[in-house]
Amino acid sequence: MAKKVQGYIEIDKEKCKGCELCVVACPKDIIRMSKDVNGKGYHYAEFFNPEPCVGCADCAVVCPDGVITVYRARIEV
Amino acid sequence: MELTADKIKELVVKPENKVYAKTPLLTDKTLSYCPGCGHGVAHRILMELVEEMGLENDTIGIAPVGCSVLAYEFMNVDMQEAAHGRAPALATAIKRLWPGKFVFTYQGDGDLAAIGGNETLHACNRGENITIIFINNGIYGMTGGQMAPTTLPGMRTSTSPYGRDTHMMGNPLKMTEIVAMLPGTYFVTRQAVHTAKHARKAKKAIKKAIEVQLEGKGTSFVEIVSNCNSGWKMTPVKANQWLEENMLDYYHLGDIKVDGKLVKEIV
Ligand SMILES: Cc1ncc(C[n+]2csc(CCOP(=O)(O)OP(=O)(O)O)c2C)c(N)n1
Ligand code: SF4
Ligand SMILES: [Mg+2]
């Protein structure tokens, strides 16, 4: 079995203001804006494809509102 | 084994795998800043450092007047609110009374370079042992996007609707280069936070600024070239591109003074 670095992010969608900076920052292009809106009326960021995520945290570092939590682990595949 | 999204979540989302989360030194209050505003990133890296350096009980911050007037609501450390532009004077008093504390000011360009230009120059010239964090977005964000001393030539604002005419309105003030020439400053640098790479670099620079103060070396001054997408009338993504192409062309990034010595030719 091979090992792989796997990342995963959690986005606090109610606190997201929909600025889209994380979408630009993600080197793997796996964040997009939702079609739905949150309680504030913003289209929030959505993590739509976890598999390529390496947990680099670039999205969380550029998020002005600190709504992204990042996890990273070596898993067996 | 097929890696479904649910399977990945189950394998990876565990407390021991957490590599990045908002620091507890930011309160749970929703920031009052517009979506995409650089103030939020600057707040976060500063508070991450206070936490990582174990200074949470030994920090006193001074909030300015400007969009970050409510910084004391968001930064979970002891804070004082200053009158417009007067943060360096207040920081001077607090640091002289509490020399063992890490004392910083957090100021916009209207606050630091316009109404507070005088305070800034004199505090730096006296070499007060404080750290000044200067958020330069080239505009008065809070009051509706008026021209600031830092507004770029030709830049449109609500008080320069045809663009800043340097013959009539003067040239943008490079406060950071000016304070670097004063003997009281020990570490002077210009950074940005619009990309992850820049934000990580800015964090290292602020760390150095804090260390300089803890060593009692004199004033440390960190400019952060930032955006004001509302005042610039752009989306956050566009504002960051504009910043890269225009602001950084005038406000060059990098250290200007290190260990009390100029490391860059001042032009
Ligand atoms: C004595 C005084 N004069 C003027 C004002 C109005 N005023 C409030 S904020 C501000 C400028 C803020 O601009 P800046 O410091 O660049 O902060 P930003 O909002 O861009 O972060 C001004 C002129 C005031 N509050 N008090
Ligand atoms: S007005 Fe400008 S500086 Fe103020 S919060 Fe909005 S984007 Fe930020
Ligand atoms: Mg400003």
The range of the structural domain enclosing residue B212 comes to 31-262
Q: Kindly determine whether residue A61 and residue B196, on different chains, have CB atoms separated by under 8 Å.
A: yes
pLDDT at B142: 98
Let me know if residue B8 belongs to a domain.
no
Task: List, in order, residues 6 or more apart from B125 with CB less than 8 Å away.
Answer: B182, B183, B184
pLDDT along chain A (77 residues), means of 10: 94 98 98 98 98 98 98 95
Let me know if residue B88 belongs to a domain.
yes
Interhelix angle B117-126/B87-97, nearest 10 degrees: 30
Interchain contact B17–A (C-beta under 8 A): yes
Domain A3-76 has CATH 3.90.1150.150: no
pLDDT digits 0-9 by tens, B89-103: 999 999 999 999 999
Let me know if residue B18 belongs to a domain.
no
Question: Once rounded to an integer, what is the mean pLDDT over residues B51-63?
Answer: 98
Any idea what the CATH number is for the domain that residue B90 is in?
A: 3.40.50.970
Question: Once rounded to an integer, what is the mean pLDDT over residues B141-158?
Answer: 98
Confidence of residue B225 (pLDDT cuts 50, 70, 90): very high
Let me know if residue B9 belongs to a domain.
no
Any idea where the domains of chain A sit in the sequence? 3-76
Of A6-10, A59-63, B126-130, B262-266, the range with the lowest mean pLDDT is: B262-266
HEC string for B67-104: HHHHHHHHECCEEEECCCCCHHHHHHHHHHHCCCCEEE
Q: Is the pTM of this model over 0.90?
A: yes
pLDDT digits 0-9 by tens, B192-206: 999 999 999 999 999
Q: Are A69 and B22 in contact (CB under 8 A)?
A: yes
pLDDT at B94: 98
pLDDT at B3: 87
Q: Kindly determine whether residue A66 and residue B40, on different chains, have CB atoms separated by under 8 Å.
A: yes
Let me know if residue B23 belongs to a domain.
no
Confidence of residue B267 (pLDDT cuts 50, 70, 90): confident
In this structure, the strands spanning B219-225 and B131-136 are parallel
Q: Are B119 and B148 in contact (CB under 8 A)?
A: no
Let me know if residue B16 belongs to a domain.
no
Interchain contact B26–A (C-beta under 8 A): yes
Q: Which residues line ligand 2 (CB under 6 A)?
A: B 33-34, 37, 39, 67, 137, 141-142, 228-231
Closest residue to atom 6 of ligand 1, CA basis? B143
Interchain contact A31–B (C-beta under 8 A): no
**How many domains, in total, are found in chain B?**
1
Helices (H), B135-193: 166-169, 175-180
Mean of all residue pLDDT scores within chain B: 97
Question: Once rounded to an integer, what is the mean pLDDT over residues B207-236?
Answer: 98
In this structure, the strands spanning B59-63 and B78-81 are parallel
pLDDT at B2: 76
